[in-house]
Structure 1
Amino acid sequence: MTTMRDAVDLESAVEALNAARSVTILCHVQPDADTVGSGLALALVLHRRGIPVWVSFAEPAELPESMRSLPGVHHLVAPGDVPAEVDLLVAVDCGSAGRLGALADRMSGAANTLVLDHHRSNTRFGSINVIDAGAESTTSLIVRLLDAWGVPIDAEVAHCLYAGLVTDTGSFRWVRPGTHELAERLLATGIDSAEIARALLDTHPFGWLTMLSRVLSTAQLEPGVHGGIGLVYAVVRREDIAGVSSEEAESVIDIVRTTSEAGIAAVFKQSSSVADRWTVSLRARDSRPGADDGVDVAEIATALGGGGHRFAAGYTAYGNPDDLVAGLLAALG
């Protein structure tokens, strides 16, 4: 691997993309709309320039239903179809090589590697690292990259970029100055924002309701955690999500985190293939009346082997739920 660059280095990223004669774009495991939207937007641009491009993620086996209407999905290939060797490998929205799952081995066959991400906990695992922890989403970073590249953003590319923006900002609940201007720029291409949001955020199968009824019955509140900020958590066992997709399980955290008595939320999700492996999603509020300034869940997740953002993070752990909860409580203090 060549010398690592840690700054937001758009010029070097553009040079790498211009020089590449073949490109693999890897999204993180259990992909969301930010990683897939970023990958497909780049793939659309590269394909139009005549560059062979492959987009993939290690797991699950299929793209979640909510993202199948994104333009450029025909560029997605199964993990086994990702070339072993390529001019440039681009990792989008991945805080570490571990987030690539089984596809992390493709990095060794790439002449150059480019990491595009907005996670503060990013480990800078590429040859070129374009990391902006202040960016609302990785897709918003892709907009800046395309501008630096001199590539116009049309409706297809904007659709992919808007998908990541609307989901990673929680439907624009978590924004910064300029976020709405970016959204307006993307909307001006003619994309249907209501339909994009409906597909990504407001559509679930009936089985989701019965899954929720089982999972939410496990919810527990620990009001004294972290100086009175409080923790609420729930457990998703493999039998709870039989018959529903992994993205339905991912959505549980967005309901659990609405608990008013807790500033921290966690959902423990059992692996479908390894009984003692669990993925843990963490969420935090900015602050809560009567509590201190909150908690940085990215620090907690990083200490437990994961990573993420201040208000949204996650990690993988092994054991039984009681031990996992005890470990999280100990980390929170």
Structure 2
Amino acid sequence: MASQEAATPQSQHVRTGVEAVAETLRGARSALVACHVFPDADTLGSGLAVAIMLKRWGVPVWVSFAEPSEIPSAFVTLPGARDVVRPDDVPDDVDVVVAVDSASSERLGVLASRIAGARETVVIDHHRSNRGYGTINYVDPSADSTTMLIARVMHALNEPITEDIAHCLFAGLVTDTGSFRWCGPAAHLLAAELLATGIDAPAITRELLDTHPFGRLSMLASVLGTAQLLPNAAQGRGLVYTIVRLADISGIPEDERETVVDIVRGTGEAEVAAVIKELSPDRWSVSLRSKSSVDVAEVASALGGGGHTRSAGFETDGEVEDLIASLVRELA
């Protein structure tokens, strides 16, 4: 697997900060806005907001993600979502690549190959594990969402945040903060600014967080019914975990498995929650959450992933029993 450093053109001077991003976007002749694989509302909301702004300037722009092959149904109502293209439809020689909410180039999947041919690569992200794989890096782990950073870029450009952009930014903000349950004052201030544009915040929230297919109920019955509690894990603070197998999500969108962790994390007897999702036989994606005292980003990093202090994840191969044993060891 290529390193983050290898993805950055070594001949170019690396710059950081919001002003460098603003300057680069102003000079873009064409752009690929790359979202991470299995996109969430933060990466798509960030990417679509940037694309709307660039299109307003007349810049040719493509928004894309590598996997899955179709945009998740929960996000089709985001402004500009229907213009998202598949990686094969992105030109090989775009002027600027803008990677949003992606802690490493690997998280871009096949779109990472476009970095080598770009004049500049702009990385905008809030993950602590991001070490800067662009020629322009704006990484702020204190931000509650990447859409918060996109709003700062627009402020630096003196670009108006219109209702369609506000819709995209709010989508990332409300989801990454858990409906503002874990965030700082800056998130509330931005929310007030976005609501002032006239967006229907309750409708956006309902569409993203409270609307699910009927088949999800049987999936939850199967998955939650097999959850396990390890009260002695995490130095006695407790670990609760469950497994989402491919058979559990048969007939429903794959992104529905991502909603399981927010239910499991409510277990009162456990500080840490883990949802182990089967990607293919003996291939797993693990979502980790903690309440207040365990840094799950450190745990995920030790197992090949990364993330935030209270929300992180990793992918791995092998037997699920070995995966669980490794997780328990890292929590010790």
CA drift at 1:153 = 0.5
Give the counterpart letter for 1:279 in structure 2: S
Give the counterpart letter for 2:298 in structure 1: E
| TM-score for both structures, normalised by structure 1 | 0.95
Q: Once superposed, which parts of structure 1, at least 4 consecutive aligned residues long, lie more than 3 Å away?
A: none
Correspondence for 1:284 among 276, 285, 290: 290
Unaligned runs of 5+ in 1: 287-293
Partner of 2:75: 67
Question: How does 1:215-234 map onto structure 2 within 5 Å?
Answer: 215-234=223-242
Partner of 2:298: 299
CA drift at 1:112 = 0.7
Partner of 1:88: 96
Q: What is the SS of the residue equivalent to 1:239?
A: helix
Partner of 2:315: 316
- Distance in 1 between the 2:287 and 2:109 partners? 17
Q: Is structure 2 residue 2 aligned with structure 1 residue 3?
A: no
CA drift at 1:109 = 1.6
CA drift at 1:246 = 1.3
Q: What is the SS of the residue equivalent to 1:150?
A: coil
- Distance in 2 between the 1:109 and 1:249 partners? 35
Give the counterpart letter for 2:72 in structure 1: P
Correspondence for 1:184 among 183, 192, 214: 192
The one-character-per-residue Cα deviations of 1:236-279 (angstroms, maximum 9, x if unpaired) are 111111111111011110111100000100011011xx311110
The answer as to whether partners of 1:53 and 1:75 remain within 8 angstroms in 2 is no
The one-character-per-residue Cα deviations of 1:193-221 (angstroms, maximum 9, x if unpaired) are 01000100000001000001111122101
The answer as to whether partners of 1:307 and 1:313 remain within 8 angstroms in 2 is yes
The answer as to whether partners of 1:43 and 1:75 remain within 8 angstroms in 2 is no
Partner of 2:251: 243
The answer as to whether partners of 2:42 and 2:146 remain within 8 angstroms in 1 is yes
Identical pairs, percent: 56
- Distance in 1 between the 2:182 and 2:97 partners? 30
How many pairs are equivalent? 322
- What is the Cα-based RMSD across aligned positions, in Å? 0.9
Note closer, same or farther for the CA distance 1:250–1:97 as it changes in structure 2 (3 Å cut).
Answer: same
Q: What is the SS of the residue equivalent to 1:232?
A: strand
- Distance in 1 between the 2:283 and 2:224 partners? 20
CA drift at 1:101 = 1.4
CA drift at 1:123 = 2.3
| TM-score for both structures, normalised by structure 2 | 0.95
Correspondence for 1:275 among 277, 281, 285: 281
Correspondence for 1:49 among 32, 52, 57: 57
Partner of 1:194: 202
- Distance in 2 between the 1:4 and 1:238 partners? 42
CA drift at 1:110 = 1.1
